[in-house]
Amino acid sequence: MSKASADIVGSVGATFVATIDSGTIVQATLGGQNLPMGADKRSVTVTNLAAGDSTIQLGLVFDPGDPNAKIGVGSVTTGKAQAHVPPGEILSTHVADVIDLFGG
């Protein structure tokens, strides 16, 4: 993976909310640690983004007819973070997928 192919790129040490716009997140981990989920079950908080490549592992549920989920960035508390343009997608047929991150 590289900065050019990451779903979200941010500054090292950034704290931000990673989002999806469809489906439900039932579990999210980064580096083996559970991430706090938002009440909407479509967002997770990343704290202290590491340098280089990292990956959020997601457990997902999609209802029949849900569209593919676009990956985005919600609030950014510290540093900088932005989603790839065009945004990455998670197929609505997947029960597990990832959000690729790059800290630089």
Count of domains observed in the chain: 1
pLDDT in tens, 14-69: 999 999 999 999 999 999 999 999 999 999 999 999 999 999 999 999 999 999 99
Residue 74 has pLDDT above 80, yes or no: yes
pLDDT score recorded for residue 2: 73
The CATH code of the domain that includes 45 is 2.60.40
Averaged pLDDT, 78-90: 97
Question: At a CB cut-off of 8 Å and minimum separation 6, what does 45 contact?
Answer: 15, 16, 17, 18, 35, 36, 38
Q: Which domain holds residue 62?
A: 8-103
Residue 35 lies in a domain: yes
Residue 1 lies in a domain: no
Under the banding of pLDDT at 50, 70 and 90, the label for residue 4 is: confident
Under the banding of pLDDT at 50, 70 and 90, the label for residue 1 is: low
Amino acid letter, 79: G
Q: Are 30 and 57 in contact (CB under 8 A)?
A: yes
For residue 1, the SS3 value is coil
